[in-house]
Chains A and B, each alone.
Chain A
Amino acid sequence: MSTDKSVQTVNDMLDQHGISRRTFLKSCMLAASAMALSPMAGSAMAKELGGRRRPSVIYLSFQECTGCLESLTRSFNPTLEHLIFDVISLDYNDTLMAAAGEAAESAKEKAMRDNYGQYVLVVDGAVPLAYGGACHTAAGKSAVQILQHAVKGARAVVCVGTCATFGGLPIAQPNPTGAVPVPSLIKGKPVINLSGCPPIPVVMAGTLMHFFTFDRVPELDHLKRPKMFYGNTIHDRCYRRPFYDAGKFAESFDDAGARNGWCLYKLGCKGPTTYNACATLKWNQGVSFPIESGHPCLGCSQPGFWDGGSFYAALSTPKWGRAGEGSPSKAGEVAGASAGIGAGVGVAAAGLSRYRKYRRAHKAPAGMDAGGDDNTKEE
């Protein structure tokens, strides 16, 4: 057994912390189950990971609320989410680490040097580009500079949370900081997007476990999210789906339909267009998820959900402006304005037609028909 961190294996580290191989095996089996793999895959995972050097992870935070990290660390059970911190060597995280200032920065530089080409870069938060990137600075460098420096030696980049994957809240109109999603700044490295506001803890830990065990990026969808967690919409797995199919909707919060647990489509549920695992894995160790608690899905794992219209306007309704719901006055404005212009054009067209008839009537020599119009009498 080695206590030297640079050659310590996962098993060494677990032993040091008094975590038995059996406990680690059980945790890996639970992780495999969460990823729809068989328990024996968990066993393979435990064997693979146990003998390996602890993978180095550098965790950078930019324009974020820290909700993603809270989601990962606030689990109350020593299950998968804690396991991941046992397995990995988290060499830099400015929220969790004890060091600060120069000590923290030099720890990061050392970890990046020692593990060059091998460490996994986990990023949360969007990156601001306005004012030369000055909206987010740390240790005298802008977010863009920190990110570009860290990406060079990374083996892969995992973007955690909708802010990092799609820009999230910072990118919402009017986007005063010029925020961009992290993948738009990364070229030549594999990227995994774990979107959600925040992502489910099991999704974060499970994806990292999968990556470290099988040494490859899991199967991704067109938005680079792992299909094992983002392959279905909330709507496809929602337990209230039978009510949707039967046309039974809650009309307002806390009405009879809502209390009967009917579908929340009319209250603005974005479940049909949102890909995430909330309906099956749920939150807080499977206690509940927003729809089960009576609130429509916000669509927080989709790009641009902050600008996707009101959270409480149904998907079928018009979207006026950033978060605006349609209303009679707004519709009336558009109708009135365009009808007004149309009326003007109509009057002009009719006027032109009358003028032409008048001219024709007056141009013809006396006694002859002009254009087949029997009535030369003008109005």
Chain B
Amino acid sequence: MDLLSIARGPALKAALAIFFFGVTWRLVGIFLLRHNWQLSVGRAGTGASLQGALKSIFTFRRPRLSRPRRSPMESTADAAVAVGSRSWPHPPFVRRTLYGETIGYLYHIGLALVVIFSAPHILVLKSFFGAGWPALPTPVITIIAVLTLALLFAALMRRLGSPVLRHLSNFDDYYSWSVVTLVFATGLMAHGHVGGPYQDVLAWHILSFDLLLAWFPFGKLMHAFFLTPSRAIAGYLLKRRGAPV
């Protein structure tokens, strides 16, 4: 079997299997862990209404409370608030972290647009989900993809340029970045028909995606699944102890 058939066939199947196995294992394993009981009473006066919670997701501001005790509804609202309010740095820190935050948001958006709205990807997703949707024009995808690749490298430069970040970074950080950038770069090469026979470039793109899927559950890429639950839980816990979110 040639490389492309392997990439599209057994390698993809194995990668998907590892991905679903790993993600489910980690999520189930973590959520079923024994956690400590909350023995104290939930603090009053620091919860939120659901309306306030929703509003806070978009305004990134702490909502005001009125009820004296924490109800399940309030607790849920706390969780939702935390997801929103941690989506942007608190005002005193914005100036220091603006660059990193902006790069991060922009390349995530770029990745999402390219993955979801480029024609060959829609065909793949259609084969998984049964339905497709209109694609963005090819030249638009090219521009977005080039900008996103540049932003990925900007993110790496930022990590390497800051002594603090360099000190904090480990194999996981660099490897996860490499795996994502490799998929993106090979995809751009296939899109532009450069870098060798199309068959091989496409095969390497699909194989690097298989590698991404296989690595996903075991590194920091899992933040995709952990982000929302961990913020929500933090919000819930902090609010019931009377801390601001």
Q: Do A and B bind each other?
A: yes
Q: Are B127 and A235 in touch, CB under 8 angstroms?
A: no
B1 within 8 A of A: yes
CB contacts (< 8 Å) of A321 on chain B: these are 9
CB contacts (< 8 Å) of B54 on chain A: these are none
Binds B, one of A41-49, A82-90, A323-331: A323-331
Instruction: Give, as a whole number of angstroms, the nearest-CB distance from A353 to chain B.
Output: 6
Tell me the bound Cα distance from A164 to B13 in angstroms. 32
Q: A316-B120, A325-B127, A346-B32 are in contact. Are A341 and B21 (CB under 8 A)?
A: yes
Tell me the bound Cα distance from A245 to B120 in angstroms. 13
A110 within 8 A of B: no
CB contacts (< 8 Å) of B22 on chain A: these are 342
CB contacts (< 8 Å) of B12 on chain A: these are 318-319
Find the B residue at minimum CB distance from A342.
Answer: B24
Q: Are B137 and A316 in touch, CB under 8 angstroms?
A: no
A357 within 8 A of B: yes
CB contacts (< 8 Å) of A349 on chain B: these are 25, 29
CB contacts (< 8 Å) of B138 on chain A: these are 245-247
CB contacts (< 8 Å) of B120 on chain A: these are 265, 314-316
Q: A318-B8, A342-B28, A379-B34 are in contact. Are A328 and B16 (CB under 8 A)?
A: no
CB contacts (< 8 Å) of A334 on chain B: these are 13, 16-17, 20
B9's partner among A249, A315, A320, A338 (CB-CB below 8 A) is A320
B135 within 8 A of A: yes
Within 8 A of B (CB), among A354-379: 354, 357, 373-375, 377, 379
CB contacts (< 8 Å) of B4 on chain A: these are 273, 308, 315
Specify the main secondary structure of chain A where it touches its partner: helix
Q: A235-B198, A249-B119, A316-B124 are in contact. Are A350 and B28 (CB under 8 A)?
A: yes
A95 within 8 A of B: no
Tell me the bound Cα distance from A314 to B118 in angstroms. 14
B23 within 8 A of A: yes
Tell me the bound Cα distance from A233 to B129 in angstroms. 32
Tell me the bound Cα distance from A346 to B217 in angstroms. 13
Tell me the bound Cα distance from A249 to B197 in angstroms. 22
Q: Are B198 and A272 in touch, CB under 8 angstroms?
A: yes
CB contacts (< 8 Å) of A327 on chain B: these are 127, 130
CB contacts (< 8 Å) of A247 on chain B: these are 119, 135, 137-139, 141
A309 within 8 A of B: yes
Q: Are B21 and A342 in touch, CB under 8 angstroms?
A: yes
Q: A350-B33, A375-B39 are in contact. Are A331 and B127 (CB under 8 A)?
A: yes
Q: Are A353 and B9 in touch, CB under 8 angstroms?
A: no
Given A303-B2, A318-B8, list of 8 further CB < 8 A pairs? Answer: A272-B193, A272-B199, A304-B1, A315-B120, A318-B9, A334-B20, A342-B28, A353-B33
Instruction: Sample 12 A-B pairs with CB under 8 A, ordered by A number.
Output: A265-B120, A272-B199, A304-B1, A308-B4, A309-B8, A316-B206, A317-B127, A326-B124, A341-B21, A342-B28, A345-B25, A345-B29
Residues of A in contact with B (beta carbons under 8 Å apart): 233, 235, 245-247, 249, 265-266, 272-273, 303-304, 307-309, 313-321, 325-328, 331, 334-343, 345-347, 349-351, 353-354, 357, 373-375, 377, 379
The 4 closest A-B pairs by CB, nearest first: A346-B28, A326-B127, A342-B24, A247-B138
